[in-house]
Amino acid sequence: MPLFFCYYTNMKMNDYDSYEKLNARMSKAFKIVSNPKDWKAPIDKVVNLKEVEVDLPSILESIEFFTATVANWTSSWKGDENLVRIRAAGYRNGPAGDY
């Protein structure tokens, strides 16, 4: 029987390596939108999806994974750039924040 079920990836994780892989994937995506000086801060970032190695669903998933908040996003095209503005309350302002 697995130790726990991971809601974010629908994967059963029963060993440390699985969690390490999940955490690495989420960290890579979250670094794109988080404030490097204060990861708990609100998120408001414009991302060119053609310049990053992570897709939009993974970025949104990582925000929920680390902050317990749901991100909103809007997209626009500027030339051949696929720009996406991603916003979220951030960990501090969310339900798991510093109280």
pLDDT tens sequence across 56-85: 999 999 999 999 999 999 998 777 788 999
Q: Is residue 99 in a domain?
A: no
5, part of any domain:
no
Is residue 93 domain-resident? no
Would residue 49 count as lying in a domain? yes
Q: What total of structural domains would you count in the chain?
A: 1
Question: Residue 96 pLDDT more than 60?
Answer: yes
Query: CB of 54 within 8 A of CB of 32?
Result: yes
**Is 67 within the bounds of a domain?**
yes
CA distance 49 to 22: 21
pTM: 0.80
Q: Decide: 13 and 21 in contact? Cβ < 8 Å.
A: no
Query: CA-CA distance, 40 to 21, in Å (whole number)?
Result: 22
Domain assignment of residue 44, given as a range: 12-88
- Considering the domain boundaries, does residue 69 fall inside one? yes
Q: Does residue 2 form part of some domain?
A: no
1 falls in which pLDDT band (50, 70, 90)? very low
**1 belongs to a structural domain:** no
pLDDT digits (tens, 9 = 90+) for 8-40: 455 555 555 688 889 999 999 999 999 999 999
